[in-house]
Amino acid sequence: MPGNLLRSEDMSLIQLYIPLEIAQPTVAELGELGQIQFRDLNPDVNAFQRAFVNEVRRLDEMERKLRFLRTQIDKAEIPVRSLEGSMYYARSTTQQEIDELEERLAEHEARIQQMNNSLETLNKRYLELTELRHVLRETSVFFEEAGSRTDELLGGAHQEDSHLLSPAAGADDSEAAERGEGGSRGANLGFVAGVIPRARMATFERILFRALRGNLYMNFAEIDEPIVDPVTDETVKKNVFIIFAHGKEIIAKIRKICESMGATLYPVSDRPEKRREDALEVLARLEDLKHVLDSTRNARRQELAKVAENIEVWTTIVKKEKAIYYTMNMFNYDVNRKALIADGWCPTDSINAIQYALRGVTERTGSTIPPILNELHTTKEPPTYLRTNKFTVGFQEIIDAYGVAKYHEVNPGLFTVITFPFLFAVMFGDFGHGILVTVFAAWMVNQEKTLEKKKWGEIWGTFFGGRYIILLMGVFSIYTGLIYNDIFSKAMNIFGSGWNFVKEPHAEKWIGEQTGVYPFGVDPAWMGAENMLIFSNSYKMKMAIVMGVMHMTFGICLNVVNYIHFGQRMSIYLEFIPQITFLLSIFGYLVVLILNKWATYYPDPSQAPGLLNTLIYMVLSPGNVSEKDQIYPGQAGLQTFLVLLALICVPWMLLGKPYYLKRQHAKRGALGYAGLSDENIPDPSRPSEDSNAGGHGESSGLVDPHGDGSHGGEMGHEEHFDFGEIMIHQMIHTIEFCLNCISNTASYLRLWALSLAHAQLSEVLWEMVLAGVLTDTIAPGLLPFAIVIAFALWFVLTVSILLVMEGLSAFLHALRLHWVEFNGKFYAGTGTKFEPFAFATVLKEVEE
Amino acid sequence: MEALFFNVENGYLEAIVRGFKSGILTSNHYLNLTQCETLEDLKLQLASTDYGNFLQNEPSPIATTTIAEKAREKLVAEFNYIRANAVKPLATFLDYITYAYMIDNVILLITGTLHERDTNDLLERCHPLGMFDTIAALCVATNVQELYSTVLVDSPLAPYFEKCLSAHDLDEMNIEIIRNTLYKAYLEDFYNYCQMLGSPTSEVMGEILQFEADRRVINITINSFNTELSKDDRAKLYPTCGKLYPDGTAKLSKSDDIDQVRMVVETDAQYRQFFDLPVGAERSLEDKFFEYEVFLNKKSFLRQFHFGVFYSYLKLREQEIRNIVWIAECIAQHQKERINNYIPIF
């Protein structure tokens, strides 16, 4: 039954003998097929002691190279050709290809690295020259300032001393004076110029001041242009500084401090002409360097562009290759026979496909020995594999989040497809809101091809993943909205109301007068009626109970399907029948009463019998029905019978199964099979590792249909028959069931509560926001603006509060009703998921 | 009371540190590590621990120094994260922890400068936790006075340094004295700070720091045999916050050989095991110290609502890094027979 959502696929444990020389292509083919979940056959072997660890390591190295290239490409902002459809299938077919790829990667890496190195040295040179240019420019400013200041200071001195020293000195132009003075003082006043990162400036100054006890003159200027560090590629802001100090030793000390603080020093001449010359030279060299840099950069870019063309394909190949060897490490390596032995689960239906794939590999590689596939018989619990499609996967995930179905168990996912959106819609019923939700979901469904590739964060991913759920939720909301006759808290009068309003002569009141029946849903006349809330409350509450009992009854009935499938027919009589009787005799009866009350016309509503009291007194004082609550003759007798029936069910549930099991056990013991039945008959076609798993007989399944997955594998059924344990278990089970029947029925009242809350909230929103501006109290000139503003506000609030928040809350409640109230009745959910080795999943993980 | 308000400010960080602690390698991991044949295997093994793919982007073959460096980088990143999220008094406590590294760095730089090593090389070898911004200028100083007034005066070490200004020249001996004086001052200060924080930090840290002090005392004593260091000077270097103070230290300062040291140390029940070395054993006194330190640090995780866990985590990780490096070295040098001489932690 392929694609059957009711039950998981039939699974087979298969064993593959793969000749070593075609192991890699075989596993590759199987990975492409993605239908086998391999079992780890050497769980005790360390990761680095496995057979193919060298290959894995080699591929790790290749991956590292790819990552390196990738970061380089990203840094250079070169667009990478992304994976398109066919490229997902890229894979190496021969070992040689991998070798070539490795070589190519090494080559590319080496080349890029070399270019990076030369680029770095060039950049460093460029950086130095740029800094030097700045130093020269800024220092000349310092010197000019200093010059003019010395002029001022020394000017006076000159005039005084000019007669003494040199009569011609005063006549010198300022530049010569500066040079002359500089020269004469040069013997003792030296300077150091350089560049330092701006962040270190303060510390630098402090240390200098302390080390030299303030005997220095320092000047600095900020470089506006941000300077890129060639090693780290970060932009650093730097300062040019120049320090004048006195004495050779002090200058040496300053130099040392500068160096240790990470400053770069540049030789600057104290002669302006030399400085100008230097500046010109630096400019020229900068220009040259720029050319070289540009061409190197271009070459690197081209190289990277070449890599970018293929990097995705290469990454895919390497990832696949790594996955292959990783899988092969799980196999048994038979050195003597030169073969790998693999064990794994696969869907029985896929065995043919696997055989076909294996044959294909043999033909393609021209191998003389084909891989051999054996089907093993096992008593191990197979993994659960439910084939889903894009429509059902969302619903199945809701169920899987609760628990993965046991192998071959009835899968509630199938029913969830309809019941989930329906229960949601009962709480969310509003025609208008339903349409908005449907439109949104329809857009997602319609655009799914393009939207799939968008990565808009986790929240978006959740919505997009559940687009079909949302779509159905929207459609069902439209339906329930029509039933409730509710569109944005207003009603639609499509078919003409069945009520006519007549004004009461004395009071200021309109009284409805029935003239007909509205054909579909709630009559629009109820909208605005004074007793609207009383009516809708009573209606929705009763409806919630009716639906809840139906939903739970259905859940209990599904047990039968399980019992028949697992061959536990006795459980139908010992569990199913008392359970369903218990539920129906109390709550089923209530549903009948509700339907009866709906169908009966009570001229005076206050005289109608209260169903709540009926139910309570039915249990509290059986045999008595008060006059007021009398619905039909013979009610007391029937009710007493039902209560007794329910009471009988309790010991039936409690004692029936333990007694049955005890008898079974005794019978088996009498026959002398107690020990024998557990023995594992060794299967010649099977390796010995299965021997620890016992078989599942009928009786072991009966002990605890909800829990035998947990002790199925390890303990087998080395059955120590403990009657006390079974009894306690059954007691808990019985008490739980009886209490749950009551509490779960009450739990379904959330359908009523949320539906009511939703309707009320949307009405309040309408009244508070939009209704206000639709009256005639606003000046006609302002009305359009007021409407626009109010509508915008109303719409935003509708979407954010009513659709998103209320929708989420209704979603959660629907989820709970499915997980607890519905699944709790029959679903064990103790299975393990089938996780086949497939390249598709491997690659997907990489993308995330 | 401290339990009432501790979590308000430090609960998150304590939880983080306890989480980090659960990532410390266990004996099982070590068993796997010691089975490795090559450093590549080691890398593979470490990848399955909390270290994750910290060596992922290192081209093979990897050197042991790379492993050590990367492991330390990870630890420093964790510490810095905790430091960045801490508030006083935890922040001050964490700062105190870094002072020890600063002392080591300062001494490293001074010694390096004395031997005329390249400053940048030295700076790279400094422990990243012990960096302060003026540290680079250390190499300028030629004497102690200058060292203090130029560089250390506005580092956190300044108050400790004031006590060793008497030494003048920077030579090997003096540097060693400076180191020990600094350490003594630091330990005493840290100890007093921890005592000020009150129980249970004071109890947990008290024990650890007392041991630290005693270890220094013993080491100084043993190392000063047959050196120029006079017995009075030796006594001056002893931290005064240990369990051996004052009686033990007084006796130790007068001892001349290792047997006398043993006599003194064995008066303490817990320290007795240190000298309990079988003849020809591979474990040295230093290993015994490390073992006891690990024991104390492990013990600090048994109590809650105190700062000791932060210190202990750092120390345990450091020991773990030493272990990994030891194992890596043994593998690299094919000394497999000595590979099991690491100090087991958990």
Measuring CA to CA, which residue among B225, B195, B198 is closest to residue B210? B195
SS3 at position B27: helix
What pLDDT band is residue A479 in, cutting at 50, 70 and 90? very high
pLDDT number for residue A722: 83
For B58, nearest residue in chain A (alpha carbons)? A64
- Decide if pLDDT at A685 tops 50: no
* Beta partners for residue A346, in sequence order: A12
User: A333 φ, ψ to 5°?
Assistant: -105, 110
Q: What is the enclosing helix (H) or strand (E) of A392?
A: none
Q: What is the mean pLDDT of residues A787-808?
A: 92
Residue-wise pLDDT tens digits, A57-78: 888 888 888 888 888 888 888 8
Q: Search chain A and give the residue with CA nearest B109.
A: A260
pLDDT at B281: 60
- Range in A429-438, B155-164, B280-289 the model is least confident about: B280-289
- Contact residues, chain B, for A105 at CB < 8 Å: none
Q: Which residue is closest to A261 within chain B, CA to CA?
A: B136
CB atoms B41 and A48 under 8 Å: yes
CB contact under 8 A, A260 and B119: yes
pLDDT surpassing 70 at residue A551:
yes
Quick check: pTM over 0.95?
Answer: no
Instruction: Count chain A–chain B contacts defined by CB atoms under 8 A.
Output: 54
Q: Which band of pLDDT confidence, cut at 50, 70 and 90, is reported for residue A160?
A: very low
Helices (runs of H) and strands (runs of E) counted in chain B = 15, 0
CB B140 to CB A53 under 8 A?
A: no
Cβ-based burial of B136 (10 A; exposed 0-12, middle 13-18, buried ≥19): buried
Residue whose entry in the numeric block shows the structure tokens 């630096």:
A282
Q: Are B120 and B138 in contact (CB under 8 A)?
A: no
| Interval B198-254: pLDDT, tens | 888 899 999 999 999 989 888 888 888 888 778 888 888 888 888 888 788 888 888
**Shortest Cα distance from A31 to chain B (angstroms)?**
24
Strands A227-228 and A332-334: unpaired
Amino acid at A232: T
Map A516-583 to HEC letters. CCCCCCCCHHHCCCCCHHHHHHHHHHHHHHHHHHHHHHHHHHHHHHHHHHCCCHHHHHHHHHHHHHHH
C-alpha torsion A145→A151→A156→A157, nearest 10: 110
Contact by Cβ (8 Å): A558, A399 = no
Residue B145 distance to chain A (closest CA, Å): 11
- In this structure, are residues B326 and B35 in contact, taking their beta carbons and an 8 Å threshold? no
Q: How far apart are the first and last CA of chain B?
A: 32
Report whether pLDDT(A204) > 70: yes
pLDDT level of residue A577 (50, 70, 90 thresholds) = very high
pLDDT of res. B227:
80
For an interface test with A, which of B150, B154, B155 has the most A Cβ atoms less than 10 Å from its Cβ?
A: B150
Q: How confident is the model at residue A785 (pLDDT cuts 50, 70, 90)?
A: confident
Please list the residues that pair with A243 across neighbouring strands: A192, A218
From the CA atom positions of chain B, what is the Rg in Å? 21
- Asked if pLDDT for residue A163 goes beyond 70, the answer is no
Cα–Cα distances (Å) from A475 to A425, A469, A520, in that order, read 8, 10, 17
Q: Burial-class residue A238 by CB neighbours within 10 Å (0-12, 13-18, 19+).
A: buried
C-alpha atoms less than 13 angstroms from C-alpha of B331 in its C-beta half-sphere = 23
Chain B residues with at least one Cβ partner in A under 8 Å: 32, 35-37, 40-41, 44-45, 48, 56-57, 59-60, 119, 133-134, 136-140, 146, 149-151, 153-154
Query: Does the beta-carbon distance from B153 to A210 stay under 8 Å?
Result: yes
The least confident of A561-570, A705-714, B27-36 is A705-714
Lookup: tokens for B38: 């090559």
Is A691's pLDDT higher than 50? no
Per-residue confidence (pLDDT) for residue A153, from 0 to 100: 54
Subunit contact A211:B140, Cβ cutoff 8 A: yes
- Give the pLDDT mean for A325-330: 86
Dist CA A484 CA A543 (whole Å): 12
Specify the pLDDT at position A680: 46
User: CA-based angle A103:A105:A110, to the nearest 5?
Assistant: 95
The pLDDT score that the predictor gives to residue A716 is 42
Q: Which residues of B touch A260 (CB under 8 A)?
A: 119, 136-140
Q: How does pLDDT run across A344-384, given as a tens digit for each residue? A: 898 888 888 888 888 888 888 877 788 888 888 888 888 98
> Of the ranges A24-28, A221-225, A309-313, A539-543, which is most confident?
A539-543
The tokens for A255 are 């130099």
Best CA proximity match to A836, nearest among A14, A1, A7, A6 = A14
B106 has pLDDT over 80? yes
The arithmetic mean of pLDDT across residues A222-250, rounded, is 78
What whole-number distance in Å separates Cα of residue A777 and Cα of residue A786? 11
pLDDT, chain B, mean: 84
Q: Does the pLDDT of residue A1 top 90, yes or no?
A: no
Could you tell me which residue, A755 or A773, shows the higher pLDDT? A755
Interchain proximity A260–B139, CB inside 8 Å = yes
Highest mean pLDDT, choosing among A147-151, B100-104, B242-246: B100-104
Per-residue pLDDT at A83: 64
Is the per-residue pLDDT at A100 higher than 80?
yes
Q: Which H or E element spans position A84?
A: none
> Rounded distance, CA A609 to CA A606, Å?
8
CA distances (Å), origin A376, targets A380, A689, A690, B294: 11, 12, 10, 53
pLDDT mean over A300-315: 84
CB contact under 8 A, A253 and B137: no
- Do the chains contact at B134 and A48, CB–CB below 8 Å? no
- Mean pLDDT comparison of A256-260, A315-319, A435-439, A706-710, highest-scoring range: A435-439
Q: What is the mean pLDDT of residues A607-636?
A: 83
Distance CA A331, CA A352 (A): 22
How many other C-beta atoms are found inside a 10 Å radius of the C-beta of residue B85? 13
Q: What is the pLDDT of residue A120?
A: 84
Question: According to the model, what pLDDT value does residue A708 have?
Answer: 40
Distance to chain B for A334, nearest Cα, Å: 23
Mean pLDDT of chain A: 81
Token pair belonging to B11: 């609960």
Distance from C-alpha of A721 to C-alpha of A663, rounded to nearest angstrom: 11
